[in-house]
Amino acid sequence: MAGIRDHSPITLDKFNGLYDRGDREDVPLDHFGDCDNLQSVGDYGFSSRDGVGISQNVIAPLTNIKRIYNYPTDDGNTLIILTWDGTTGNVYHVVNATTVFGPVLTIAGMEDIAFVPIAGRGYISPFKTYPDVNNLNFEKGLENEFLYVYLGDGTAARKAAGATPAGTITIANGIAGHTDPGLHIFGVVGETDTGYLSPPVALDDFTTVAALSVSFSTVPVFVGAQWVRRHIVASKVVVSFNGDVSGYQLFFIPGAIINDNVTTTLSNISFFDADLLDDASHLSDNFSEIAAGTCLCVYKDRLVLGGEFDNPSVYRVSAIGEPEAISQIDGVLSFPKDGNPITQCQALRDVLYGFKRTKTGAWVDNGDEPSTWQYQAVDETMGCPVHGIATVLDSGGSASDFLFIATYKGLCLFNGRYVLPELSMKIQGRWMGMDRNEFRKIQMLHDPIKQRIYYITTDREIMYGDYLNGLDPKSIKWWPWSFIFFVNTIAMKDIDDFIIGADQV
């Protein structure tokens, strides 16, 4: 009895979350060997996690939610939501708790989507999981599907870019004016409501006269409500013409614009060859349909898409400020082939990083076309799954100087290299216990205001890390959360409104 009276009690005034690494007897006294549905309070306290309520205040809330993305618009922070019924995916635009547009896109087999907002528009790429002969899961752009653009107004999303019509243009002399005399090649470029410019069509030759303007009729009309205007383009004087109108450098004629998609005439246009400065020739190399992929991001005002079905190790990069103008020749970045498709892409500190499940590479804009950018290997063993880069608050993207990345080894900080040991070191048992073949289910969210990082486990529960006391493997506190439903996706709206998307209970 004297020994017990002499025993010094152990005071536990700090709780540092879950510890699941090695033997249970190795759990530090200020950690839990197991816990559920707790959250940090202050520096070292804890309490039960907050409850969960229904986000939508409508008669029939969306159910079986597979993916949520933040969609900032001029009117506020809204959400793009994908639902999945087992065979067909439907994309909705949730403006607020009482206003839902859609479905704005419905595609059979669309199990998941990549999404990026640009200038108030939303770009959507459908993809799915394709098991190989060994039943190893790979995610690739949905076969025979494309990149779509949504205007944010509730109208249906449509294919990005656009097909061009067949047709001819009639060219004639107009009233007194001026041109450089000689043979020119003329054509028509269509423009959509998102600013996409088509390749020149209806090419024809005509010999201009010095003292006369030029008039056009039977100007082709493009198919689809998205086409809002047409431009007349021309070559400079062709000195030696062999009868083939293709292959000449074409330029936009200043002021030669039809501001609708109905009128078929444009009269009395004057120009000198010296006025032809805005080159249109490169438009002929652009895709009229852009194949779907697994990932989308923006790098230096260019849209980047990767993980196509037929070209899973290729990124497509748009022209600057023209997300739908992707050159088949100059807009290509190749990730070295290794049997694995591209999973993600992300810009950080003026560098474009590309990811496969176990590889990371990088490209830097050299001021020339993307096809000239040099590939640099960053890590040959570590990469991430399709949703393995944490989005930030209600905007997405990276933090100011680093990324949170889910790798097979663990959840890591990335600042141009992977920082080890991994942030998930204290819960290595939980992380390594996840099914690697289901890593596509992992999705991460970073809240730098509350200093928290959330991720969905392959068991479709949530683990969150509190780094209020330090962003390092020892100081971060991990707390697991479980629910009566299976979590598929998470997002944050209006800075701190935590949104959970789940299957129907």
pLDDT tens, N- to C-terminus, the chain (505 residues) = 455 666 677 666 788 999 999 888 889 988 999 999 999 888 778 899 988 888 777 766 888 999 999 998 888 889 999 999 999 999 999 998 888 998 999 999 999 999 999 999 999 999 999 998 888 999 999 999 999 999 999 999 999 999 888 889 999 999 999 999 999 999 999 999 999 999 999 999 999 999 999 999 999 999 999 999 999 999 999 998 988 998 899 999 999 999 999 999 999 999 999 999 999 988 999 999 999 999 999 999 999 999 999 999 999 999 999 999 999 999 999 999 998 999 999 999 899 999 999 999 999 999 999 999 999 999 999 999 999 999 987 666 655 688 999 999 999 999 999 999 999 999 999 999 999 999 999 999 999 999 999 999 999 999 999 999 999 999 999 999 999 999 999 998 887 788 999 886 5
If we measure between CA atoms, which residue out of 6, 27, 7 comes closest to residue 15? Answer: 27
Residue found by looking up tokens 């493009």 in the block = 222
Are the beta carbons of 465 and 447 closer than 8 angstroms?
Answer: no
24 phi, psi to nearest 5 deg: -60, -30
End-to-end CA distance of the chain: 55
- Look up the pTM and report it: 0.91
Give the integer Cα–Cα distance in Å for 243 and 435. 63
Are the beta carbons of 342 and 307 closer than 8 angstroms?
Answer: yes
Tokens of 489: 């996706």
- Other Cβ atoms within 10 Å of 301 Cβ, number: 12
Are the beta carbons of 421 and 381 closer than 8 angstroms?
Answer: no
Cα four-point dihedral sign 429, 431, 434, 437: negative
DSSP letter, residue 431: H
Q: Which residues contact 100 (CB under 8 A, 6 or more apart)?
A: 56, 58, 62, 92, 93, 94
Which residues are 413's β-sheet partners? 404, 419
Give the integer Cα–Cα distance in Å for 107 and 319. 28
Are the beta carbons of 298 and 304 closer than 8 angstroms?
Answer: yes
Question: Taking the C-alpha atoms of 136, 140, 145 and 149 in order, what is their torsion angle to the nearest 10 degrees?
Answer: 140
